[in-house]
Structure 1
Amino acid sequence: MTEEGPRSPHPSQAGDEPLSGAVPAPGGPGGGAGRAPSGGWRTATVVGVRRPVPRAVELQLDVADRVRHLAGQHYVVRLTADDGYTAQRSYSVASAPGDPLVELFVERLDDGEVSTFLADVVEPGDRLEVRGPIGGWFVWDGERPALLVGGGTGVVPLVAMLRAARDLGRTDLLRTAVSTRTLAELPYADELLEAGALVVTTREPHGVRPAGRLTAADLVPLCEPGRTAYVCGSDGFAEAASRLLVDLGIPAADVRVERFGASG
């Protein structure tokens, strides 16, 4: 999800989403089961901190009075300075809905107010203000076939979908393709490979495939009628991947896109 530069709150984080109850989730193939859960502000205790790839951190949070999320939803993390100034950013949930902890993956950006604190300062036992789960569009209900396409850290909500499918015993419903500069930089690389994901690297060869961007030829074996496509990544990646899918015959209405990147 989005991380931005100093003092530049994202419009979608300005309180325009419900704080409690539920928000409508779209029907049709791949949609949520009628209504997507939505949680208000909670206190979360940090119980785990891992740094599996460079310039990033995984946080496991024990959220008080947690509302169970759907795979694909996100949380807002809010920090408050001593002078009362606040900064908040959104991060996709990587954990499956059935996991008792909420796992967030945070990419560290040098000018990020929130990501630098979460990556460099936060330790187990610390408490954070969080709001979530949020989002009713980019969610997978665990029942319908889907094609997951992610770029870089955009794989995070897709990992939540893969984990949900594994817990449900329905890994057969998902096909996955991801793109990364190098395998060492790919979040959850081992888990994605174990799940059978096609992994494309743009800065180094991977297996028998030379370095290069995701292509239509890569996606053809994964595209089947009736699959909703979930695309997550940077603006450029999301635009290119969505165009490939539509050109391959997936209706635009069946391509759900979530973009991330700095907008401040």
Structure 2
Amino acid sequence: MTAAATADEAPDAAPRAARLGERFATTAGWRVARVVDAWQETPSARTLVLDVPGWPGHRAGQHVDLRLTADDGYTASRAYSVSAPTDPAHPGHVHVTVQRVMGGEVSTYLVDDLPVGAGIEVRGPVGGWFVWEPGTAHGAPVLLLAGGSGVTPLAAMVRARRAAGDRTPFRVLYSVRMPTDALFLDELTRGRLDGVDADVWFTRAAPPDAPRPPARIGLRDLAHHGWPAALEPVCYVCGPTGFVEAMTRMLLVLGHEARAIRAERFGPSTD
């Protein structure tokens, strides 16, 4: 499955040379994109802005496949969620936020080495179930549960809501190891007045002003900070497999309907 930084395969399955070749394939829906901007989100995560010719647009929650080609022609592709909705001013731009994975040659190259101006292949957008669009909630509130870099597609939903001036009530519960790992923290937590209510839990190290010591999200937390099942919220859960399974079980215990839970999972652990 996909998320902000889908688990890299072992280094020997990635390109043998961490260099992009200039020989790109154009089959099976792949497009040749260029990196037009990039910035560091955290010490281990970087956002890339890709200009993709002929891009059809995308929805918050969808993902793309990125493919690198080594000088010897060897290729490797990984899936990454888009971290921002389509921008009407730049409809061909795609934002992806990549979290470096320990031992992952592809994510390490994207975070540390891929220069602005470089080429990269893109395929997508992919996915139609784990998406949110302004004007589609029909009065139902939205609950976003994020584990680690799984916050990326959920941040795209928050950004889509704000860009459209949508008033659907959002609640965000974000579980992350420590402050230096937290993505989009200021953006997520500044919006209580505009209907985005976010709480952050740190599992390994919390800042001095944190309301509680490091701990995972528990059933009581979810019951207190999430939407009651009686309001019939749409629930989006994204993160490592263990996190997604735990949150899904808790939502069911709290009375949420299985049909209202949309889950996206990936490999690495957040704790």
Q: TM-score range by the shorter chain?
A: 0.7 to 0.9
> 1:192 deviation in Å?
1.2
- With structure 1 as the length reference, what TM-score do the two structures score? 0.83
Which stretches of structure 1, 4 residues or more, deviate above 4 A after TM superposition? none
- With structure 2 as the length reference, what TM-score do the two structures score? 0.81
What's the secondary structure of 1:75's corresponding residue?
strand
Q: Given the alignment, which residue of 237, 246, 258 partners 1:231?
A: 237
> 1:8 deviation in Å?
4.7
Is the Cα–Cα contact under 8 Å of residues 7 and 87 in structure 1 kept in the other structure?
no
Query: Is it true that 1:78 corresponds to 2:67 in the alignment?
Result: yes
> Structure 1's 7 and 146: CA in aligned 2 closer, same or farther, altered over 3 A?
farther
Query: Is it true that 1:6 corresponds to 2:11 in the alignment?
Result: yes
The 5 Å alignment of 1:42-81 reads: 42-81=31-70
Is the Cα–Cα contact under 8 Å of residues 237 and 244 in structure 2 kept in the other structure?
yes
Q: Any stretches of 5+ residues in structure 2 without a counterpart? A: 15-25, 192-196
Q: Given the alignment, which residue of 95, 107, 111 partners 1:103?
A: 95
Please give the alpha-carbon distance, in whole angstroms, between the structure 1 residues aligned to 2:254 and 2:11.
Answer: 40
> 1:210 deviation in Å?
2.3
Q: Any stretches of 5+ residues in structure 1 without a counterpart? A: 10-18, 21-38
Query: Is it true that 1:172 corresponds to 2:190 in the alignment?
Result: no
Question: In angstroms, what is the RMSD of aligned CA positions?
Answer: 2.1
Is the Cα–Cα contact under 8 Å of residues 62 and 153 in structure 2 kept in the other structure?
yes
Q: Given the alignment, which residue of 133, 137, 156 partners 1:160?
A: 156
Greater mean deviation of Cα atoms: 146-155 or 58-67: 58-67
Is the Cα–Cα contact under 8 Å of residues 133 and 160 in structure 2 kept in the other structure?
no
Amino acid in structure 1 at the alignment position of 2:175 = S
> 1:171 deviation in Å?
4.4
Residue in 1 aligned with 2:256? Answer: 250
> 1:141 deviation in Å?
2.4
Please give the alpha-carbon distance, in whole angstroms, between the structure 1 residues aligned to 2:45 and 2:259.
Answer: 33
Please give the alpha-carbon distance, in whole angstroms, between the structure 2 residues aligned to 1:222 and 1:109.
Answer: 30
> 1:52 deviation in Å?
2.0
What's the secondary structure of 2:41's corresponding residue?
coil
Please give the alpha-carbon distance, in whole angstroms, between the structure 2 residues aligned to 1:218 and 1:110.
Answer: 30
> 1:203 deviation in Å?
2.0
Please give the alpha-carbon distance, in whole angstroms, between the structure 2 residues aligned to 1:175 and 1:215.
Answer: 16
